[in-house]
Amino acid sequence: MQIPENIKLLSAYDIGQLLYKKKMCPIDLVNFYYTEIEAYTKPNPYTILTKKRALVEAENAKRRLLENKPLSPLDGVPVAWKDLFDFKGFVTVGGSKLLEKNSSAKKDADVVALAKKAGLIQLGKTTTVEFALGGLGTNANFITPENTIMKDKPRVPGGSSSGSGVALGDGLCAASFGTDTGGSVRVPSAWNKLIGLKTSIGRISTNGVLPLASSYDTVGPLTKTVKDSSLLFSILANKSFFEFSDIDINNTNVLVVRGLPWNDCDHIVQKACEDVIKKLSKAGVNIFEKKVTEIEEMHKILEKNYGGATVAEAYNEWKDMVDNKSSFLDRDVLNRMLMGKKMTQSSIKTIYDAEENFSKQLYSSIEEYDAILFPTVQVLPPTITEVQESSETYNKYNKLALKNTRIANSLRLCAISLPCPDDLPVGIMLCMSINKDEKLLNFAENIYNIIK
């Protein structure tokens, strides 16, 4: 059974259907991906290949599929995981030289176990910003994979789930997984023209996932379609699959959040997003536009406090290494950890209190809208060279990369980044209140069918 020529363009669900119809063998598919990964000439997004495991999982999937007993619609589909997720028998390195000699994980992370239970095949682990602390995707101690869309010069892939974005963007897996603490699923999704889901805090287990900032850490998929995002969300949340339903477009209200999310917009990003808004309006969606006080005020507090409590929690998590082994850390990660070290308990409490109060107020103020919308990232990806050569340039672009995405983490929203129908990597983000993930996915499917 041959691998289809267009395999890299297919969604995980489409691949699952080919496997189910026995038009493709999961063992052949796994071998195809490994051949592609090993022949990849640019900096490789994979840090660990789990070939032996993947082939055993493929053999088991083949047997189930031949017996017409698939575990899920994605049984036999190969996926990649950011190297923060525990794989039994492997060290979770987290993009850090300091963790390379740690003990191997004794069991899979909860979500990896759930993926296996659904028949997904684990190809391996992908590169990440050290400790997942960074929005650009660079890692001075390992590798920085290159952006898959803008190829004029080597450009950043977006972080911190950089390898997961590049592996899927360049067709080296059918779907991938990352973590999102301030934008780390959505930034690489936007910059590689993928769909990135930031799940509600607490909806998906983080047991067995290397922590960065536990108040904000979430797990989510990077995919080619909203359907894939929905299936993978259900698998990782250990919930039943749900069917999409049509929404009444003429009774759909979308709030375009003006002000802060557009203040530093590149003109190309602005035009691509405005074109999407016009398209939605033309299709019959009721578009409302205004600044949102809670977002504006929360941003002011974050700006006064090193960008938020994430860096303080990150420092407390990795304090020993920052204080005693700083020479081994990536320069830009260390700089942000040291910002966290400077934060007082008083300023951290100010942030937590503001997040709690403003999130509740925001839920109330956006209740009359089906979703809020704004650009995922305000700028296009800079070159790897310019951000690696200068801390000042790195800090400038890192702040811009995370400026919009962190709104959802800070104010406890679920969010999804959808690619704009533009040649360049621009994402538009839809957000809803906490725990409306299923509703958001259904809404995003309807919206994406209009804009793509």
- List the catalytic residue out of 8, 11, 62, 82: 82
Could you give the 3-state DSSP secondary structure of residue 383? strand
User: How many Cβ atoms are within 10 Å of 42's Cβ, its own excluded?
Assistant: 13
Name residue, tokens 């003429």.
250
Place of tokens 């980044």: 417
In sequence order, what DSSP letters do the residues of 37-91 get, joined into one string? HHH--SSPSEEEE-HHHHHHHHHHHHHHHHTT--SSTTTT-EEEEETTB--BTS-
> Does residue 346 carry a catalytic annotation?
no
218 by DSSP, 3-state: which?
A: strand
Measured from the Cβ of residue 12, the count of other Cβ atoms closer than 10 Å reads 27
Is 341 a catalytic site residue?
Answer: no
Tell me whether residue 234 is one of the annotated catalytic residues.
no
Catalytic residue among 11, 72, 160, 215: 160
Cis before residue 433, ω within 30 degrees of 0?
Answer: no
Instruction: List, in order, residues 6 or more apart from 270 with CB less than 8 Å away.
Output: 262, 375
Contact 251, 34 (CB under 8 A): no
Of 72, 96, 162, 184, which one is the catalytic site residue?
A: 184
Residue 427 near residue 420, CB atoms below 8 Å: yes
Residues recognised as catalytic = 82, 160, 184
